[in-house]
Chain A
Amino acid sequence: MAGGDLAPVTPSTSRQRNPMRQPQFIHSTTFRWALAVAGVLAIFVIVLFGFIYWKTDSYLIERSDRMIARQLHYIGDLPGGRQLDAIAQHLDQDSRGVQYAGLFGPDGRKIAGNLEKFPLDLKLDESVQSVPILRTLPGGPQTRVIRAIARSASDGNALVIGREVDETREISHVVGQALALGLLPAFCLCLLAGAWLSMRAQKRVEEVNQRVQRIIAGNLRERLPHRNIDEPFSKLAAIVNGLLDEMETMIHALAGVGNDIAHDLRTPLTRARLTLERGRTNATNLDQLQSVVDKAIANLDQSLSIITALLRLAEIENGRRSAAFGSAPLHEILREVCDIYEPIAENKSVDLRVDVAQPLNVLGDRDLLFEAIVNLVDNAVKFVPEGGKVGIELIHSDDNAIVRVTDSGSGITEQEREVVLRRFYRSEKMRSTPGVGLGLNLVAAIVKLHGFRLVIHSGPGGRTEIICPDPRPNSRAPATKTQASLIGKLEG
């Protein structure tokens, strides 16, 4: 149904329109719903009117039955002589000509009244029945079905009182008229409303489609139309617009990253090109040529390592590695990092220390966590001046485990803190040190993948922390705070 609703607006299907040239709104779900509602409404109204008709009809018949029964008792209870007068009077009072009365002798002969014969099927048991009678009218004899009641008197005569219930016909006529007057316009109104709503919706969809086509064509500034916020369509448009805002920002950010990548790749490639070009012209012997080529290769390797680092970053950011999550021993990782970096630190006369209070496992990817911590330590060792100190600590509080890397260097300023996580950001003072400038991005991506937090403190002395909430493995479901602290205390 939804497909049918949307199909006419997509460019591929609008070309192959219905050959019958039916108006489009007929195929829309909105219109079909309106049609269904109108149908249900009509059925409901017909049933309702039928019920009213039936109820009124039976009420009127009942009332008329009571009347003729009363009349029968009244006339029947009169003494023999006065019955004839009463019958005559009764018939005289009937201006509409619907009353019938008859007094018949024991031999079936008519004594008085307007009935020529005793009705054939009428029983003398004082119950009201429908019986056919033959009536002489100016146009000739006519058979009519009337309600009649009969009783046999003590002298052998039979008294019949009857009434023609012609109101029923009138009522059905009135009901039919009312039905026609009320139902038809209502049904038409329903259809009109349905058609209008569906065309309106179609118009909005078409409008949205045009805007979306413009966005697809590359106009990222385009937004969907929305008037007031309470209407569902506008609400939806506002939501989509929010999404488009976000995406526009992201695309611009990505474009910025693209520019950065291009710049950072171009730098070593330009160097390689220049070196090769100059070498080709100026090198006069094999040694010179070889040194030129070595320089060019080094620059190419630098470009390649940037690409590798970017791909690696994308790999982690896409979160493809979360399958490798398991219990990762932070204490072991820290010791290992220290083990690997100690000789490097020592070469720079940097005092590298690891301080682990107690073993601690977290749920995560061991290799990735190692990579993150190694990058932090690498940064610290790189930034700290010769003779400085770098410390790696594993601290844990009630519901947090903190891996803290500190150094005795100058640290970073508040302004720098904002930009260190930008791709390819490299501190001005570090321009001469080798590196790609993606280390912290990598750390941030890994930390994010694990649901941990990366905190970089500013001020004298570098201090970077990875905060891992709820350090117990196998229980990532957030325990309540009291539970967590209780367990923390028990473990402590």
Chain B
Amino acid sequence: MSSPDDGARRAPLFAEDPGGGVAASAPLVGDAAEPTLFELSRPGRRSWQLRTTDVPAWGIDDLVPEAHRRTSPVPLAEVSERDLVGHFTRLSHRQFAVDLGAYPLGSCTMKYNPKVCDTVAALPGLADVHPGAPGWLTQGWLELLVRLEEALCEITGMAAATLQPAAGAAGELTGLLLMRAWHDAHGERRTRVVIPDSAHGTNPASVTLGGFEVTTVPSNERGCVDMEALRSVLDRDVAGIMLTNPNTLGLFEEEIEEMADAVHRAGGLLYYDGANLNAILGVVRPGDMGFDIVHLNLHKTFATPHGGGGPGAGPVAVSARLAEFLPGPRPVRLREDGAAEEDGAAEDGARVAAEARADRAGEARGGHARYGWAMPPRSIGRVHGWHGNALVLARALCYIEVNGGDGLRRVAERAVLNANWLRARLAGVYDIPFDRPCMHEVVLAASTLRKRSGVRAIDVAKRLLEEGFHSPTVYFPLIVDEALMIEPTETESLQTLEALARAMERIAGEAAGGEVGTAPRTTPVRRVDEARAARQLVATFDARR
């Protein structure tokens, strides 16, 4: 019990809001917002502890010339470790994730991320290695990268790959620069790249950054590229075509061989957007379909966690004739004499010589360097500051090796099975614009629902959040009205699919009541005012006032 005197003594401290916040789980049990870290701050608090070094404690004046010296420290939040933990733990409780429940976000392949891969990525022998260390001291990493590259080439049916691109979009741009380098090397200045109207938005943006113009071809009534339209745009200006197969409608482009043939006859190259590779693992390979350049999204197909929006990894694999243009340096196996073990392609002499020296140094210490770095002879250059998102690459190799060739095929089968089951289960409840067997995802539409009751795809998406499911991708692909793009992935059980289907049925049934439009009501916040965010931009705490 506190006496009135205690209150009087404490009063001055709270005379005005001193900052510092309160550690309480209000956002979890109530509906209060979590304060920002800056509001939890109180000058003089600290979490940091640094090791004792005994290095002479020169002052800042002795170390940095005045012209360069800060006049006051960078203002950051000052919190105790306990408050730091409380804050970020409470924030994590305001976040949906694959580990919490089904995440059928079409085109994103939000499958379960095996924990063993996290363990691999945390191994000190991988996580604590400097990327600039000499090859003979990083043989384990080099072997890991070579093994991954070889596995990815087998999976895609390609000859060689770069692991540098940090995400799918970076892979796309890399692929387009490879296309450019190929045509340059053949003395051609081709200016246009063809993409279907169902393509991911990154495709046209990458085409522009690759220095090409976009030519769009329409889809036909079956949801595939219209062959006649494609033939009509193919000429000597076309550098190539970007396709994803299965396409963004979840449908396999059945005429892919004819397309490949037509594009190749026109002197163009075929680029495969690997966003949808999960559907065809071990079933059919982009290389066998006639593609020349393939990017993969390891964070989709190979189960590396999406990290709230990255890191991803977007390796690019190519056919043999394009290997000499790949970004570099590339991890390679070395022969006994220290030269790179590569089919056909000559390697950069200096780099290999350097590694051969490292090899000898390694040998002198009882080791033998079997792996090194090599620059492809006509490389387009680096596309990453170092070697790519290495720890993501390590996770992907772990996933591939646990699954094996047989397991990867089962992944594709179960992913396609799940998507088709949902398609059949929800037929008649939602529109199915292209009603035929799909691959790893199914595109439904809420257009009839909207006509009947005014409920839109976005309303269905928001209402699903209340049911404990993440929303599907909505309003994509652009060619489908009121699209709901559902990718259940192979790691969701039949029971979860049934629960999702029932929730979607329920929502369709409720539509007439008009309640759906006000969802979600049970989430940490309700629908947010996106227009206001753009109109009155507050992108930092300092912009608040």
Chain B binds chain A: no
Q: Please give the residue numbers on chain A whose beta carbons come within 8 Å of chain B beta carbons, in ascending order.
A: none
Q: Please give the residue numbers on chain B whose beta carbons come within 8 Å of chain A beta carbons, in ascending order.
A: none
